[in-house]
Structure 1
Amino acid sequence: MSQPFSYRHLYYFWVVAKEGGMARAAARLDMAVQTVSTQVRELERELGHTLLKQVGRGLVLTEAGIATMRQADQIFQLGEQLPAVIHDAISAPSVRLAVGISDGLPKLAVRRLLQPVMQEPNLRLVCHEDDFEDMLGDLALHRLDVVLADRAAPPNPNLKLYSHSLGSSPIAWYAPAALQAAAQKNFPQSLAELPVLLPTKHAAVRLRLDQWFERHAIRPRVVGEFEDSALLNTFGASGMGVYPVAALMHEELVKKYEVKRVGESEGVEEYFFAIGTEKKVLHPLVQKLLPGHG
């Protein structure tokens, strides 16, 4: 199957857009302006859309040009990285694991979940954090080897993704020393009187916490909500309020943030998943993350 367009033409367009004009692009490419202009027009003909338009004395991208530039950026930025990637591969052989970390996953849990691979010789761990849906998209495009998340991947016929359970942890409540005694007295009803910090609704556990409050007829006095779990810990430890965390991280919480355990949200669990693109996991390091495979 023939290519629908020339990558050489795309490269000239990319340089023109980067430089902001034909003349500057021609100087960078050490080519005649007319030659560069012809190459860009060829790309427009191949794609069937105008990519650049004259505005005043300059050129601006059309809608089609913006979309083309977005793709060209990815293509040629990856190309520019190729020499360094090859150099690293030859000079320092490593086992690479690209991990996507859903922004709803507690940060303190990530280190523990990755513990099975941390002693791997020549490990090169690359971690990316983003919105859950965006992480799944990158996984489907094989930009990531695995996604760690606080929920399973939703059914989607367009994305062949498989969720592997990494276990769960009860949710416990923690408080700075100044609030511990008041929080423990008549817990959990004390949460209606004391300042409370919660994860935002982007975290899967938030819905389960809200349902727990309803079961106990508690209207918590919420003074802060945080997307980032590290911020939740930081503001909670500073004295802003009582807050919930997966009890799995108890030792790290007490040691790093010097907070005290108040009580447990009985029946509320934080779940952990490794999401991959294969039903039978093929990447050896991802296999090590799964219970029973280490």
Structure 2
Amino acid sequence: MINYKHLHYFWVAAKQGGIARASELLHITPQTISGQISLLEQHFGDDLFVKVGRNLELTETGRLALSYADEIFSLGDELEDALRNGPTERPQILKVGIAEVVPKTIAYRLLAPALNLSDDVRMVCKENTLESLLAELALNRLDLVLADGPVPPGLGVRGFNHPLGESGISFLAVPELAKRLTADFPASLDGAPLLIPSEINLMHVRLLQWFDKQNIHPKIVGEFDDSALMKAFGQAGTGVFTVPTAIADEVVNQYKVEVIGCTDAVREQFFAISAERRVSNPAVVAITEQAREWLK
């Protein structure tokens, strides 16, 4: 049986980013914490951390253990609160995986309807690669996965695709750059500095194919896994960047940039992937129905 004190030391060390910070928080010597984590590793038969330079990083086993520990200690806090303050109706837990290529603003807009239900819902969001999230979905550790495409063929993981809708894309830049490029869009993008999603994003190939058809050759100055980081570079004036047109107005207001132009010839798609063919969870139903209305 797992020693939960050892698990707690591991959990705190993982959350705090190292044994030294965990030691300060728990008021226990680093040697004690390290020793307890070693005992936990012996119990599991695998390393939970690996040393990279001066830092500790979670192994694959460590990441799996951390995800379970999050749930265990969250339930522990909930139990303590219920016993101290009297029983209350437990909220419905909605566990959502968000593929790292899905823009954060899109993810929020898609998931927000679940929090507006009359029943109390507590959402647990995890961001990772689509492959990792689908593996967790197959183990019933997630209720839903948000992605920019259906389950990839040949992945060997069962999941049911629920199309949520799609959006054209808009090209944005800081005002000084946008002013030079707006008049003759899209031809004005020829030679212009451009920031694009990296190859893990389906939009990477779609964008390059569209530019090729238009005989436009922008100067690609950056490729990004994280759309938020791409927007930050765009906000700094590094280059033109793209967003789904559905959220272009929000991005303009948040990042103080301007729209150069947009196209429906390149479309970004969004899918909800579940382990069940017919969605029955009320929170998931609310997400899918309102998403289709928004992105129809």
Is 1:120 paired with 2:117? Answer: yes
Encode CA deviations 1:168-215: one digit per residue, 9 max, x unaligned: 000111111011121113222222222111111111111110110110
- In structure 2, what is the Cα distance between the partners aligned to 1:216 and 1:157? 34
The residue identity in structure 1 corresponding to 2:77 is: A
Deviation (angstroms), 1:86:
3.5
Q: Contact 1:198–1:244 (CA<8 Å) still a contact in 2?
A: yes
- In structure 2, what is the Cα distance between the partners aligned to 1:71 and 1:226? 26
State the SS of the aligned residue for 1:144: coil
Mark the runs of 5 or more structure 1 residues left unpaired by the alignment: 1-6, 19-23, 29-35, 53-65
State the SS of the aligned residue for 1:187: coil
Deviation (angstroms), 1:282:
2.2
- Out of 97, 108, 111, the residue aligned to residue 108 of structure 2 is 111
Q: Contact 1:140–1:160 (CA<8 Å) still a contact in 2?
A: yes
Match of 1:84 in 2: 77
Match of 1:129 in 2: 127
**Pair 1:183–1:126, CA change in 2 (3 A):** same
Q: Contact 2:161–2:273 (CA<8 Å) still a contact in 1?
A: yes
Match of 2:141 in 1: 143
- Out of 81, 91, 94, the residue aligned to residue 91 of structure 2 is 94
Match of 2:220 in 1: 222
**Pair 1:281–1:263, CA change in 2 (3 A):** same
Query: Percent of aligned positions with the same letter in both sequences?
Result: 35
Deviation (angstroms), 1:290:
1.4
State the SS of the aligned residue for 1:267: strand
Encode CA deviations 1:2-33: one digit per residue, 9 max, x unaligned: xxxxx3xx659x78xx8xxxxx89x98xxxxx
Structure 1 or 2, whichever has the larger Rg, is 1
Deviates more, 1:206-215 or 1:66-75: 66-75
Mark the runs of 5 or more structure 2 residues left unpaired by the alignment: 11-31, 47-58
Deviation (angstroms), 1:80:
5.5
The residue identity in structure 2 corresponding to 1:201 is: E
State the SS of the aligned residue for 1:126: strand
- In structure 2, what is the Cα distance between the partners aligned to 1:71 and 1:229? 26
**Pair 1:136–1:191, CA change in 2 (3 A):** same
Is 1:276 paired with 2:274? Answer: yes
Q: TM-score, normalised by structure 2?
A: 0.72
Deviation (angstroms), 1:149:
0.8
Question: CA RMSD, aligned part only?
Answer: 3.4
Deviation (angstroms), 1:160:
2.3
Is 1:162 paired with 2:160? Answer: yes
- In structure 1, what is the Cα distance between the partners aligned to 2:192 and 2:3? 60
**Pair 1:239–1:71, CA change in 2 (3 A):** closer
Q: Contact 1:175–1:183 (CA<8 Å) still a contact in 2?
A: no
Q: Contact 1:117–1:289 (CA<8 Å) still a contact in 2?
A: yes
Q: Contact 1:174–1:260 (CA<8 Å) still a contact in 2?
A: yes
**Pair 1:211–1:157, CA change in 2 (3 A):** closer
Match of 1:199 in 2: 197
Q: Contact 1:11–1:72 (CA<8 Å) still a contact in 2?
A: no
Deviates more, 1:149-158 or 1:164-173: 149-158
- In structure 2, what is the Cα distance between the partners aligned to 1:237 and 1:69? 36
Q: Contact 1:165–1:272 (CA<8 Å) still a contact in 2?
A: yes
The residue identity in structure 2 corresponding to 1:107 is: K
Q: Contact 1:175–1:259 (CA<8 Å) still a contact in 2?
A: yes
- In structure 2, what is the Cα distance between the partners aligned to 1:240 and 1:87? 50
**Pair 1:199–1:11, CA change in 2 (3 A):** same
List aligned pairs for 1:1-294, cutoff 5 A: 7=1, 11=3, 82-87=75-80, 90-91=87-88, 93-121=90-118, 122-155=120-153, 158-291=156-289
Deviation (angstroms), 1:70:
8.5
State the SS of the aligned residue for 1:114: helix
The residue identity in structure 1 corresponding to 2:157 is: L
